[in-house]
Structure 1
Amino acid sequence: MPKRNRLALAAHLIQRLPRCLHEPLLSRLFCSQVRFAGTAGVRIQKLSDSEVRMSLANHRRARNHIGGVHAAAMALLAESASGCMVGMNLPDHKLPLIKTLKVDYLRRASGSLRAIATLTPEQRRAMQEEDRGEALVQVTLLDDSGAEPVRCEMRWAWVRKGN
């Protein structure tokens, strides 16, 4: 098992509490550091070193002019999930940096959105062992109908802090 960083340790401690507290506390932890995600209303359902699940309700502050989740809010959800996935796996002495954010809008989203981000075991190992590198983080965004309204590619890099 890899060494836990501060984010992973905090998530582990929260997940030892009653289940009804997981989502609100994990979401508060994340949104205290990524304030724009808090403003949009991003919520965390699952935070582990192998999978991150987040959601964004179709509410007024994240809505566009046609009543759906705004395109920028969709990108924020994908970037947040992928960033958390990287953050759960990088040791504290490394700095995560988004390198590319590609979002192809395929169709109008129906209702709220949920994002699922994952890493391969090889990507997780590289983040633990290599001083610098990059990884294409897989993120899937699904709407309430179960469809994928956008296709995302999030490339993250990392370097040692202080470089």
Structure 2
Amino acid sequence: MTRPNQLARTLARFDALPTALRVRLVSLVLGRIVPLVGTAGLRFEEVSARRVVVGIRNRRPVQNHIQGVHAAGMALLAETATGFSVGMHLPDDKLPLIKTMQIDYLRRAQGDLRAEAHLSEEQIALMHAQDKGEVTVAVRITDAAGETPIEARMVWAWVPKARR
């Protein structure tokens, strides 16, 4: 297993808290790290070495003209789940960067949305073995009806934090 990075160490502080309180505090902390995530009110249901689960409530500030979660909100949800999945494993001396977002809108979303992302052991090992590289992270997005309104995949790159 790889050594925990700063993000993983920070989130580990909340492990002993009751679930409801942990979800609120983790969502607040991560919403401060990435301000748009906090503004959109994304809720981090789980952030672990195995998977990242993020939700967004279908509420007025994130809605489109047909009272569903706006397409940009759906993209933010997918990008956030995959980005924090990468962020949980990337060594502290590396910087994650989104490289490609591919989103296919398949059907009208119903209600709240939930995104789940994870990396394979091979992808995690690659992040620790290479100074620069990229991984394709699949993400599963479901709506309140249990359907998949969008399909998304994100390509995340990493580079050294310090320029040479």
| TM-score calculated relative to the size of structure 1 | 0.97
Query: Runs of 4 or more off by more than 2 Å in structure 1?
Result: 16-20
Task: Give me the identity figure in percent.
Answer: 47
**What letter corresponds to residue 6 of structure 2 in structure 1?**
R
2:25 is aligned to 25
Residue 141 (structure 1) shift: 0.5
More displaced, 12-21 or 52-61? 12-21
1:59 aligns with 2:59: yes
1:87-112 Cα distance to aligned partner (Å, 9 max, x none): 00001100000000111100000000
2:43 is aligned to 43
CA RMSD of aligned residues (A): 0.9
CA distance in 2, matches of 1:11, 1:2: 16
More displaced, 31-40 or 106-115? 31-40
Instruction: Map residues 62-101 of structure 1 onto 2, 5 A cutoff.
Output: 62-101=62-101
Residue 65 (structure 1) shift: 0.6
- Secondary structure of the residue aligned to 1:101 is strand
Residue 16 (structure 1) shift: 2.2
Q: Say how many residue pairs are matched.
A: 163
2:156 is aligned to 156
- Secondary structure of the residue aligned to 1:65 is coil
CA distance in 2, matches of 1:18, 1:33: 22
1:104 is aligned to 104
CA distance in 2, matches of 1:47, 1:161: 23
1:133 is aligned to 133
Residue 15 (structure 1) shift: 1.2
Residue 13 (structure 1) shift: 1.2
Gaps of 5+ in 1: none
Residue 37 (structure 1) shift: 1.1
**What letter corresponds to residue 36 of structure 2 in structure 1?**
F
2:8 is aligned to 8
1:122 is aligned to 122
1:130-162 Cα distance to aligned partner (Å, 9 max, x none): 111100011111000111000101000001111
**What letter corresponds to residue 51 of structure 1 in structure 2?**
R
CA distance in 1, matches of 2:75, 2:20: 28
CA distance in 2, matches of 1:13, 1:2: 18
Residue 25 (structure 1) shift: 0.9
CA distance in 1, matches of 2:89, 2:78: 17
| TM-score calculated relative to the size of structure 2 | 0.97
CA distance in 2, matches of 1:141, 1:20: 22
Gaps of 5+ in 2: none
